Structure 1
Amino acid sequence: MAFTLFRPLFLLIYIVHACVGSTNPSGSEGKGFPTIEETPEGVNVGLEAKRVLTSYLTTVFLPIIYIIVFAVGLPANALAIWVFLFRVKKKHPSSIYMANLALADLLFVIWVPLKIAYHFNNNDWIYGEGLCKVLVAFFYGNMYCSILFITCISVQRYWAVVHPLSELQKDNRVATGLSIAIWVIVWAITVPLYLYEQEVRVLNMNIVTCHDVTRQSQKQMAAGYFLNMGAVGFIVPLFVCIVSYVLMLKALQNSMSDPTIAKKRRKAIVLIITVLVMFIVCFTPSNIMLIVHYSLLLSGATNSLYGFYITTLCLASLNSCIDPFVYYFISEDFRNHIKNTFLCRSERTVERMRVSFTALKFSKKSNTYTSDTANTQSTDC
């Protein structure tokens, strides 16, 4: 089952491996790339680094994926934030978490054009060390913010299903407090990314890379940081999500015997599976490759997996344009607000329509009741 689910990913990784090659000359490692020599002015890299940095993988495939992420993610997340801020009048915990998730995605997407330009420019960074650090921090900050907010949504939905009458699952103060805590924690743990060089000049290629090469002197700091981020920022939330959804599925299946709610329960199960698969497909490959890659880097072992690693990171960024569509399918209110926004209906118009529809429905019921009563009376006569 697992192999079948990830077969397209394994095939893509195989193709990437064939494109970038597997030769890895001996030498000290710099983020998976052999560093032949390090000087204060920059570094010289080996054949594997040259092959990856000049391949169609990094100069064509990756920027095309990032263009898709930007073209879809920017308007979709901007619209989602607009809906959550100005259309959703009655806030509830799920909408608070989804609004924060949309904000995290939007903050990442607005920096993507720099990454597109970098890859199209043959991986030559021309925007300065400061912007390089900001881009890297927002990239990883978005990944772990998304993971944590999806985890919060998962737990909240579990609580709503298993304990529907609990006041805790309706308390916006808990959701607001957790959201603030996540932002503070994630941006605090991205601070180390500003403390070592992300921009490195590659002397024997005459380019300046951004986050693609790490100096040998900074290898331990980079590897230690990302190994801890991968373990704590991904493995723990993944475990929480899986447990929440398994318990939720059990609770939903137990009530399937009631035909009046069976249809809604089946729909909820489909949504649960969809969100879980999206989480696994978007974040699992990138974080596994992150842990494997930096483990090899730290140990000094031969490492030709950097092409795989940056490919899975790129694919992980697709979650930024998938998330808004998940909101659409999860929340009926969100769907209605989107439709009303596109139809340029104000909240007052929508409320008048709702009241009119309710009155019409009540009127029809009253007429039916009156008609039935008259028929009954005439029959009795």
Structure 2
Amino acid sequence: MDSVCNIQLMIFLLCAVTIGVQGRSPRIFTGQDQKDGTVQVDTVTTETLQGGLTTVFLPIIYIIVVVVALPLNAMAIWVFLFRTKKKHPAAIYMANLALSDLLFVVWIPLKIAYHLNGNDWIFGEALCKVLVGFFYANMYCSILFITCLSVQRYWAIAHPLSHQRKNNKIAMGVSIAIWVFIWLCTTPLYLYNQTATISGLNITTCHDVGIIDNIKYPFFYFIFMAVFVFLVPSLVIIVAYVRLLRTLGDSMMEESAGKNRRRAILLIVTVLLTFLLCFTPSNIMLLVHYSSIKAGGKDNIGYAFYITTLCLASLNSCLDPLIYYYVSEDFRDNVKNTLLCRSNRTVERMRVSFSSMKYSKKSNAYTSSSGNTESSTC
């Protein structure tokens, strides 16, 4: 009970800090509040909200994300739930990663409609909060689950004889802990308004322009997330892959080492691309954006780049299926069989038939070799 009370107290304090119970006057991220309840933004923000970057380029990116990520992650969850017989830690982490991507992608059509409508949000404050919450939850969930996959990949190669059932329980516990942690961390995003009506433009933005009681709270919030949910996991991933390559290098005499090394390199390249394209620019620009506002800057010079990096962060939902592909050979086989409409029973019969043919060929070769030896001896 004490632990539950402590958690509730932490959540209450977090809520109080986020909504600014001190009663200070409202402050606008990119402009100034007006008496009629609208927001006056600077010239750079106005041009960005009216330009082709947000009304043409961003919706194109989001459409690509939906078209690619929705079927790939839906199929991945299907494979992990119904086609993968032997559950292992990597499959558990990948299933959670695919679920995180899918929960975010299903909300993207609202984002597409928003940008195509001239950055005018017509779906209400509640849905805007949901969209923002799932966006950041997906980004930070992806970082943490990719970190778990990277560590597990190293552990599986460095310690191949580790106990499977025990590792599955650890993976389940870690996955639950990540979901709870992300839920607690994204709760502050629901505690203040994410929509703002822009004076002169006749539009209502969703998260692009925000109003909050005190700018230092989101500033310190994103510093916390950037350090503990981005930087620290990034360092863990680097260490895991360095040790992975070193382990594979020490086992180059083994027959399968070359194949494992190639897959490991492809996995590392995919993860590196995901971080360089999706996570690093967005986390850096979040800090730059809120630092500029906290410093009292009137003209948000990097606003367009800030909006673009947040959009590019959603591409991780398209790149994550490549990680599944390079991590698990079982996943590759199950995807192939699913696309060919082969049931598990059919695949099992094919394996038995293939094994029988292989055994029969070996037996015939042995018999033939024995017969030739006997004839030559006679």
| TM-score over 0.5 (shorter chain) | yes
* TM superposition shift of 1:237: 0.7
List alignment gaps of at least 5 residues for structure 2: 1-25
Distance 2:350 2:176 in 1: 37
- Structure 2 residue corresponding to 1:286, chosen from 282, 287, 292: 282
Cα deviation code 1:42-91 (max 9, x no counterpart): 21222122111101111110000000000111111100000000000110
Partner of 1:38: 34
- Matched-pair contact (CA < 8 Å) for 1:227–1:294: no
Distance 1:223 1:158 in 2: 35
- Structure 1 residue corresponding to 2:331, chosen from 322, 331, 334: 334
Partner of 1:208: 204
Structure 1 counterpart of 2:51, one-letter code: S
Indicate the SS of the match to 2:364. Answer: helix
Indicate the SS of the match to 2:197. Answer: strand
- Structure 1 residue corresponding to 2:179, chosen from 178, 183, 188: 183
Distance 2:274 2:318 in 1: 13
- Structure 2 residue corresponding to 1:363, chosen from 340, 355, 360: 360
Structure 1 counterpart of 2:263, one-letter code: A
Partner of 2:320: 323
1:150 aligned to 2:146? yes
Indicate the SS of the match to 1:201. Answer: strand
Distance 1:242 1:170 in 2: 25
* TM superposition shift of 1:223: 2.1
1:70 aligned to 2:66? yes
The 3 A distance-change label for structure 1 pair 203 and 301 is: closer
- Structure 2 residue corresponding to 1:137, chosen from 124, 129, 133: 133
Distance 1:375 1:174 in 2: 56
Distance 1:169 1:309 in 2: 44
RMSD value over aligned CA atoms?
1.8
Distance 2:63 2:166 in 1: 39
Partner of 1:277: 272
- Matched-pair contact (CA < 8 Å) for 1:93–1:169: no
Distance 1:37 1:195 in 2: 19
Partner of 2:220: 224
* TM superposition shift of 1:218: 4.2
* TM superposition shift of 1:313: 1.3
* TM superposition shift of 1:170: 6.2
Structure 1 counterpart of 2:119, one-letter code: N
Partner of 1:295: 291
* TM superposition shift of 1:227: 2.1
* TM superposition shift of 1:312: 1.1
Distance 1:335 1:373 in 2: 40
Cα deviation code 1:153-191 (max 9, x no counterpart): 001011112222222696210001111111111011111
* TM superposition shift of 1:292: 1.7
* TM superposition shift of 1:316: 1.3
- Structure 1 residue corresponding to 2:259, chosen from 246, 256, 264: 264
- Structure 2 residue corresponding to 1:163, chosen from 159, 163, 166: 159
Cα deviation code 1:209-234 (max 9, x no counterpart): 11011226342332222222122110
* TM superposition shift of 1:330: 2.7
The 3 A distance-change label for structure 1 pair 164 and 284 is: same
Q: How many residue pairs were aligned?
A: 351
Query: Greater shift after overlay, 264-273 or 341-350?
Result: 264-273
* TM superposition shift of 1:314: 0.9
TM-score normalized by structure 2? 0.89
Cα deviation code 1:284-334 (max 9, x no counterpart): 111111122222222223531111111111111111011113212332211
Distance 1:320 1:312 in 2: 15
Partner of 1:238: 234
